[in-house]
Amino acid sequence: MIMQFKNQLYETLGLILFLSLAGCSNHVAAASLQKEPVEIRSNSESSPVSVSGMSLVETPIAILSTASSPKQSNAEFLRESSTPTPESLQPTPLASLSRIQIETPNPEFKVCSPIADVELNYLNKIISDPYRPPPPGSDDRHEGVDFSYYSLAGKRTFIAGVGIQSVLPGITAAAITNSFPYGNFVIVETPREWLPVAMRHRLDIPEGSSLYLLYAHMQSTPLVLLGEEIDSCRLIGKVGRTGNSMVEHLHLEARTGPSGAFFEMMAAFQPTVSPEERANYKLWRTSGLFVHFDPMLIFKIQ
């Protein structure tokens, strides 16, 4: 009996011990399960390892890096950009303009007086400042000819408001208002192919070049539009004194240069002038790309 009692006691104690150990294991496991999410959450916050996680973290950094650089204004960009050299400047072609290549001159081709109601053979009588070319690359002296009058055919008269006509047929390469020094002015391009053969050779216009005429100091806004094709004797403006001019007169310049050029803006010598305006002025006046000559030569070739 005593032995049987001892055996039952030992079995009971063993069962109690087994249950206690099992309970401790469950507590340890539960404790470890409670700690594991904390460790995973901590790791995910400090160093994501999944591809999607890296994408979400790196993308905002790239965006913030871009946004942190302030956007440069156009004015700042133009101030910091270097002034273009004449070698790097090229006239802008009118790509959308359809031009007819004429190998023989149009039967209606004619040279017209730039001043309405003034005959070609009388133009030299109303020149107030003749062509006085400066040295190459210089902007000094007079690169054109001025027409003005205070007496004509024995009568006192004035040129202010008199119509300005296109000397040759062509395409408007500039129609600009409120510019300095030209004021309101127009440039008309006549392609080489539009000119009589004799005029091409006398004016020494090479292949790929055109004849350009500039009409300056107009009284008001030009009467033609940029890119417009016009005929000889077309009224393009009226004589005035806008720009760098003290008295009413027409300043006429003649140049040869690359075909297809046009100027949306051009100005110089004023604090408000933009880099583009100044660059176009230098391109036209001093780059050597547009070569000036005495406009009166045109009227001598018939």
Q: pLDDT by residue for the chain (302 residues), tens digit each?
A: 545 544 555 555 555 554 454 444 444 344 443 444 434 343 434 443 333 333 333 333 232 232 333 333 333 323 333 444 444 445 444 433 334 444 444 546 899 999 998 999 999 999 999 999 887 777 877 999 999 998 887 788 899 999 999 999 999 999 999 999 999 999 999 999 999 999 999 999 999 999 999 999 999 999 999 999 999 999 999 999 999 999 999 999 999 999 999 999 999 999 999 999 999 999 999 999 999 999 999 999 86
Angstrom distance (rounded) from CA 135 to CA 285: 12
Q: How far is CA 79 from CA 73, 76, 97, 267, in A?
A: 10, 5, 33, 17
Partners of 255 in the beta sheet? 212, 292
Q: Which residue matches tokens 């400047």? A: 89
| DSSP structural state of residue 222 | -
Q: In the numeric block, which tokens belong to residue 224?
A: 């033609």
Q: How far is CA 164 from CA 211, 247, 292, in A?
A: 18, 16, 21
The alpha carbon dihedral of 184, 148, 143, 181 has a sign of negative
HSE-up (13 A, CA, CB side) for residue 138: 9
What is 109-300's CATH topology? Answer: Glucose Permease (Domain IIA) (2.70.70)
Q: Dihedral, CA atoms, 89, 91, 183, 288, nearest 10 degrees?
A: 60
